[in-house]
Structure 1
Amino acid sequence: MSATTSPVRARTGISLFFFTNGLMLAGLLPRYPEIKAAFDLSNTQFGLMVAISPFAAMIASALPAPLIRRFGAQAVSLGGTVIMAIAVSIAGFAPAFAVFAVALAVAGFTDSIVDAAQNVHGVRVEDAYRRTIINSLHALWSLGATVGGFIGAFAAAAAVPLGVHLSSVAGLTVLLAVLATWLGRLPNGGRVEMPDDHPAPPTKLPAGAWALILPLAVLAIAGALVEDIGFNWSAVYLVQTVGVTAGVAGFGYSTMLGAQFIGRVLGDPATDRWGRVNVMRAGGVMIAVGGLLIVGVPTLPTVMIGYALAGFGCATVIPAAYAAAGRLPGLPEGAGITLVSWLLRAGFLLCSPIIGLVSDLTNLRVSLTLLVLSGLAVIALAPVVRRRGRTD
């Protein structure tokens, strides 16, 4: 490997790419309260709006493999980032809800492709680096999302026009992605050998396979529900229930993402010391306690502490579920992760519409008690992530 494509340099590049991917869409989320108000959306309508992106991501799930096979992971990541930047900018200047919704769909559709491509390249860099780095890469995504959330919160507080804010961040992200692509080069251009067929969920599974897969999928959905509430509802809750301004509300999302970043950085050494199951149980307790603080004591300090606890607690839930799915016995290679991923996306798609519907029928405090249920589910399902043949 030449000096211009060293493992250290490649790690720097792919790390920066994960950071930019987190940064791109995060600035939009703290401004959801004003978007909701601008288009005069009910909680149910808002829940359907924020489901547009994960729905589009599900539609795109068959595209990453052939695109990466044809163009290479880095080219797909960079091209997708440019398309996302254009879509986010259009969303910022959208004159009508229909335009905003289409732009959001395009961003979600493309984000699914970029996410797969950057993870494929991240694994190849990890192989070249000869050390585990994938968790730190995901931590940098959380850091990028935290920074993007803070930028969005400050922009909202300063009454920066949404279009100016989003297009400026999008332009910066594209520049950083170009630099990341150059730094992250590998000798073969980042191309990978991938199967000809997209790994859709297999129709024939060994007897008892679903009994192993479904608990992992439910565990992953429990972790995703915490993220969905943080991403899509934290700012709305702070405005509607706590009564803060839109600028202050944006910091709820950043607080949760910042705590998730710390949890992901500490997740690997914590697992090595105390075991995967114990880490999951502790995370479930933090999610449940955080949820109780958020819905039980809706003041700004307690809600922020609740967001931090929930974010820290959910940090390793989805990675642990994927890791366990990849080690399920008797399944074709990749089948466990593929199935859990599909079920997770379906669950994630339903989260926000359910929260919106329940909040319209009751109120947002009642609907966010799902955080407590999510924490209890993580505690109950923690043993399913135990590695086969081990007691952790």
Structure 2
Amino acid sequence: MNTPTDTSTTPPPEARRARVAVSTLFFVNGFTYTNAVPWLPVIKNGLGLSNAELGLAIAAMPFGAILTGMLAGPLIHRFGSGRTAVGTSLISLGALPFIALAQNWWMLAGALFVLGCADTWTDSAQNSHGLRVQRRYRRSIINTFHAVWSLAAVSGGLLGATMAGSGVPILWHLGGVTAVLVVINLVVSRMLLPGPENSEREDGTNGHDGGRVRMSGRAVVLLLALGVLLMMAGGIEDSAASWGAVYMTSELDSALFLAAMPFVACQAMMTLGRLVGDRVTDRFGAVAVGHASGLLSAGGMALALALPHPVTTIIGFGVMGLGVSTLFPLTLAAAGNVPGVRTGDGVTLVGWLGRVGFLAFPPTVGFLADSVTLGGALWVIAVGGAAAFLLAPALRPRT
């Protein structure tokens, strides 16, 4: 049974400084690539790429993440989660100007491939370090880090759109962003927690000497369950970006402005859910929040599909965004606290499976949509929410 977390203990100063540092790392991570997204049409025209060629170049990012993502665990145990997060974030930033400097498809795909590799390493490392800080706080703070990421992603996209629309040269923009974020990264690196990687854990798991830790059968099963849960979360979260506007225009004949609203509603409610998620988790426990998240995700998509009208669709995607908001942070937190499994290994494995969900769901929905209708195919997302509800017990804290 879950019990509310004691929030009366004041965290030590080094934990408060580290929380600011980890929040900053999440902001930098969310802000980096999203600055380049509004420039993609300009890059496409400048390089003379077809839609298919641009799509393949963009796919180099998730391909790099899937191909090399499992290296994050060894990196964390060799260098520590803090130094790994800072170092791999610098690699991402180093790749950003090369998007502007690309002279052909290969250079563009290469820059995005490096960005994808470094992004997945940073993701695992910053979440692992965030869990170190959370243990010192003795209450949930992981959702706030992801809320900062969401705000950064929106901010990066808005800045990129502003720069692209005002005629600023792309290299000046991406180069300037890189320079500023590099300085910020180096400044906050001095605020991260020192010491052995798993020193805050109370279950006897250390593994900070770089040696291998043998996982028990129960730990493997739990990690796989959490991995499937994160795959469901990834598919649900991606559905608004991949299919919200298409559904509004093709099935409901909505204007272009309204077509963007399911994604906006989903992102806005997801950010809100992450801002309040820690308090709700401390009050009701991770399993109860996971059950509610699954129900809201499934119910939101069901509302959008069962009552096919622009207003109900926008509301449904917003409810779905609120539901999925806490699934990613809570699942990664549970993966980093599996008894007998080093934090970096758990977060890396489950995070890697979550990225598979981001890749698998869009083509699955697309193939089904070609066979039936897009509205019929999107019921897969509601099923994913129901699956998340059933898998929520995997979020129970274990010692």
- Shorter-normalised TM range: 0.7 to 0.9
Task: Answer yes or no: is 1:63 the counterpart of 2:68.
Answer: no
Provide the rounded CA distance (Å) in 2 between the counterparts of 1:295 and 1:94: 42
Of the structure 1 ranges 76-85 and 369-378, higher mean CA displacement relative to structure 2 is found in: 76-85
Alpha-carbon distance, 1:22 to partner? 1.1
User: Are 2:90 and 2:185, in contact at CA under 8 Å, matched by a contact in 1?
Assistant: no
Amino acid corresponding to residue 182 of structure 1 in structure 2: V
Task: Answer yes or no: is 1:349 the counterpart of 2:359.
Answer: yes
Task: Answer yes or no: is 1:309 the counterpart of 2:319.
Answer: yes
Q: Which of 204, 210, 228 is residue 196 of structure 1 equivalent to?
A: 210
**Percent of aligned positions with the same letter in both sequences?**
34
Of the structure 1 ranges 111-120 and 83-92, higher mean CA displacement relative to structure 2 is found in: 83-92
Task: Answer yes or no: is 1:288 the counterpart of 2:293.
Answer: no
In structure 2, the gaps of 5 or more residues are 1-12, 199-207
Note the 1:20-169 alignment, pairs <5 A: 20-27=28-35, 39-41=49-51, 51-65=59-73, 67-68=75-76, 73-74=81-82, 76-91=84-99, 97-126=105-134, 132-151=140-159, 154-155=161-162, 159=165, 164=170, 168=173
- CA-to-aligned-CA distance 1:231-278 (integer Å, 9 cap, x gap): 444455556655544x87666544423322221222222233334333
Provide the rounded CA distance (Å) in 2 between the counterparts of 1:79 and 1:302: 45
- CA-to-aligned-CA distance 1:323-379 (integer Å, 9 cap, x gap): 4445556x5455655553443333333223323433445554443332211122122
Q: What is aligned with 2:186?
A: 181
Amino acid corresponding to residue 133 of structure 1 in structure 2: I
Going from structure 1 to structure 2, the CA distance change for 1:238 and 1:277 (only over 3 Å counts) comes to same
- CA-to-aligned-CA distance 1:195-244 (integer Å, 9 cap, x gap): 42577xx6x743x6665444333222111111222444445555665554
Alpha-carbon distance, 1:122 to partner? 3.2
Q: What is aligned with 2:396?
A: 386
Question: What SS class does the counterpart of residue 108 from structure 1 fall into?
Answer: helix
**TM-score (structure 2 length as normaliser):** 0.73
Amino acid corresponding to residue 63 of structure 2 in structure 1: F
Of the structure 1 ranges 208-217 and 306-315, higher mean CA displacement relative to structure 2 is found in: 208-217
Provide the rounded CA distance (Å) in 1 between the counterparts of 2:353 and 2:119: 18
Alpha-carbon distance, 1:313 to partner? 0.4
Question: What SS class does the counterpart of residue 190 from structure 2 fall into?
Answer: coil
User: Are 2:86 and 2:189, in contact at CA under 8 Å, matched by a contact in 1?
Assistant: no
Alpha-carbon distance, 1:314 to partner? 0.7
Going from structure 1 to structure 2, the CA distance change for 1:65 and 1:146 (only over 3 Å counts) comes to same
Of the structure 1 ranges 217-226 and 356-365, higher mean CA displacement relative to structure 2 is found in: 356-365
Alpha-carbon distance, 1:7 to partner? 4.5
Provide the rounded CA distance (Å) in 1 between the counterparts of 2:304 and 2:104: 33
Provide the rounded CA distance (Å) in 2 between the counterparts of 1:170 and 1:363: 44
- CA-to-aligned-CA distance 1:113-170 (integer Å, 9 cap, x gap): 2223323443455566676533322221122123234445x549x8567973x96256
How many residues are treated as equivalent by the alignment? 374
Note the 1:207-226 alignment, pairs <5 A: 211-226=221-236
Amino acid corresponding to residue 168 of structure 1 in structure 2: H
Provide the rounded CA distance (Å) in 2 between the counterparts of 1:265 and 1:314: 13
Q: Which of 19, 23, 27 is residue 19 of structure 1 equivalent to?
A: 27
User: Are 1:33 and 1:235, in contact at CA under 8 Å, matched by a contact in 2?
Assistant: no
Going from structure 1 to structure 2, the CA distance change for 1:235 and 1:124 (only over 3 Å counts) comes to same
Alpha-carbon distance, 1:21 to partner? 0.9
Amino acid corresponding to residue 156 of structure 2 in structure 1: G
User: Are 1:92 and 1:162, in contact at CA under 8 Å, matched by a contact in 2?
Assistant: no
**TM-score (structure 1 length as normaliser):** 0.74
User: Are 1:93 and 1:162, in contact at CA under 8 Å, matched by a contact in 2?
Assistant: no
Provide the rounded CA distance (Å) in 2 between the counterparts of 1:248 and 1:47: 25
Amino acid corresponding to residue 121 of structure 2 in structure 1: I
Of the structure 1 ranges 218-227 and 96-105, higher mean CA displacement relative to structure 2 is found in: 96-105
Provide the rounded CA distance (Å) in 2 between the counterparts of 1:190 and 1:130: 18
Q: What is aligned with 1:172?
A: 177
User: Are 2:302 and 2:316, in contact at CA under 8 Å, matched by a contact in 1?
Assistant: yes
Amino acid corresponding to residue 384 of structure 1 in structure 2: A
| Coordinate RMSD, CA, aligned | 4.2
Provide the rounded CA distance (Å) in 1 between the counterparts of 2:56 and 2:369: 13
Q: What is aligned with 2:269?
A: 259
Note the 1:311-330 alignment, pairs <5 A: 311-326=321-336
Going from structure 1 to structure 2, the CA distance change for 1:332 and 1:132 (only over 3 Å counts) comes to closer
Going from structure 1 to structure 2, the CA distance change for 1:254 and 1:101 (only over 3 Å counts) comes to farther
In structure 1, the gaps of 5 or more residues are none
Provide the rounded CA distance (Å) in 1 between the counterparts of 2:353 and 2:393: 19
Task: Answer yes or no: is 1:358 the counterpart of 2:368.
Answer: yes
User: Are 1:31 and 1:250, in contact at CA under 8 Å, matched by a contact in 2?
Assistant: no
Provide the rounded CA distance (Å) in 1 between the counterparts of 2:259 and 2:174: 20
User: Are 1:149 and 1:254, in contact at CA under 8 Å, matched by a contact in 2?
Assistant: no
